[in-house]
Amino acid sequence: MVRGLVLVVMIAACGFQPHAADMHAGDGGADATDGAIPIDAIDGSPLTDTDGDGVFDDTDNCIAVVNPDQHDEDGDHVGDACDACPFIANAIGDTDGDGVPDACDPHPMNVVDTLVSFAPFSGTTLPAGWIGTASMVVAGDVLTIDGSAATQILHFDTQSQRHAIDFVAEISATPGGTSFVTALTDLKDDFSQYFGCGIRVDTATREFVRDDSGTFTTVATDPAPAQDPLTFPGTYHFISIIDANQTCVIPGAMNRHKMAANQTDNNRTNVGVRVGIVTAKIHYIAVYTF
């Protein structure tokens, strides 16, 4: 009895107010339905919210970075907002010491890369900095790009002439025609020129391409497509890098397929995704500069 009285007095003296993160019925926290003392007042855990995002440090998956949605794309209990490799769980090893784990690093051996944008599409609108069209819908942790009626392009300005884009796309069955999903680098603002790393769904081909004001050129094709057959519907991982040696990588279900060619780039700063005559669901997009 005495112990209970002391506890009540201590809470009153501290002027404790329930935190929003404790307002869950049935969890011991105070809310409109149970009226109980907040669990943090009785279990000894710290009543601290370092980053002020409404989530206490003892449950916050990014203690020092504001992330009220607590989104964790790779499910490794480190929130996207503070995860150096937010789409590969528990990535370790950083050979070049640039802060980007090798598993996510466009240049894991010797170039300093920086993750400048990660879009997990966890909300209902395009993330800041990304520009798209009305045919792009964000819902259910994916961006759905409907290119069945017309070509759609999503783009982002990296502010750097050396950049890389990495994303996973779930591609629907093609209705016929020259269907494609392409990761774009060195993209012109009016979308008329770019380097691209993509899949042409109609011909089941991985290719590194260049578009120059409507003139579409295949720079390189997958050197060993038979090792990893293309299937549709299917899910593919795209990486396109623009640097001294432009590089295209499309890891599939079994192997990494890499193409490279020495081409003259135009020193533009935009990256993007191009979808046509097919529907693609983009699971995430990571953008790097170096």
CATH number reported for the structural domain that contains residue 249 in this entry: 2.60.120.560
Note whether residue 78 is domain-resident: no
Tokens 């370092």 belong to 50
Note whether residue 229 is domain-resident: yes
Residue 69 backbone class (left: φ over 0; alpha: ψ -120 to 50; beta: rest): alpha
Note whether residue 122 is domain-resident: yes
Note whether residue 252 is domain-resident: yes
102 neighbors 93 (Cβ within 8 angstroms) = yes
- Return the pLDDT at 57: 87
274 neighbors 98 (Cβ within 8 angstroms) = no
Give the residue numbers spanning the domain of 174: 114-289
279 neighbors 145 (Cβ within 8 angstroms) = yes
Alpha-carbon torsion 200, 253, 239, 152, what sign? positive
| pLDDT tens track for 45-88 | 577 888 888 888 888 899 889 999 999 999 999 999 999 999 99
- Return the pLDDT at 93: 93
Q: How many domains does the chain have?
A: 1
Tokens 């070509």 belong to 151
Tell me the residue type at 288. Answer: Y
Rounded mean pLDDT, 90-118 = 93
- Return the pLDDT at 134: 85
Q: What is the DSSP letter of 12?
A: H
164 neighbors 287 (Cβ within 8 angstroms) = yes
Note whether residue 278 is domain-resident: yes
208 neighbors 189 (Cβ within 8 angstroms) = no
Torsion of CA 99, 100, 106, 108, to 10 degrees: 70
Phi and psi at residue 85, to the nearest 5°: -135, 80
Q: Which residues on adjacent β-strands are paired with residue 234?
A: 171
CA distance 8 to 30: 15
CA distance 166 to 78: 20
Note whether residue 177 is domain-resident: yes
Note whether residue 203 is domain-resident: yes
- Return the pLDDT at 156: 98
**pLDDT level of residue 254 (50, 70, 90 thresholds):** low
14: pLDDT strictly greater than 50:
no
| pLDDT tens track for 196-236 | 999 988 777 889 999 988 788 888 888 666 567 788 888 99
Note whether residue 205 is domain-resident: yes
